[in-house]
Amino acid sequence: MSVSGTCPEWCTTNHLGIDEPVEHDGPQWPAVLDATGAGRAEIGICTNGAHGVVVALYAESTLTPKQARKVAHALLEAATWAENHPSD
């Protein structure tokens, strides 16, 4: 299953094919480091057989209020991107 459209310039996925995976379902937002600097929150787009294009969230540890707002904003952007790029 693939997603229509191309990734924005800020997508953090490697598009040059040096590292795997070269292909992916949609953009990956820049990771947000947590309050300790050791953990992070990552947001990206992937596909799910039952639901089509979905937002993936991986988060560990704790976030400051500023970091939490940054993650929340990225989640809203990801949800909008997913709604505007349905699977083929």
pLDDT in tens, 19-35: 555 456 678 888 999 99
- Structure confidence at residue 85 as a pLDDT band (50, 70, 90): confident
CB atoms within 10 A of CB 3: 21
| The model's pTM | 0.74
Instruction: Check whether the bond before 65 is cis (ω within 30° of 0).
Output: no
- Structure confidence at residue 50 as a pLDDT band (50, 70, 90): confident
Of 57, 82, 85, the closest CA to residue 71 belongs to 57
Mean pLDDT of the chain: 79
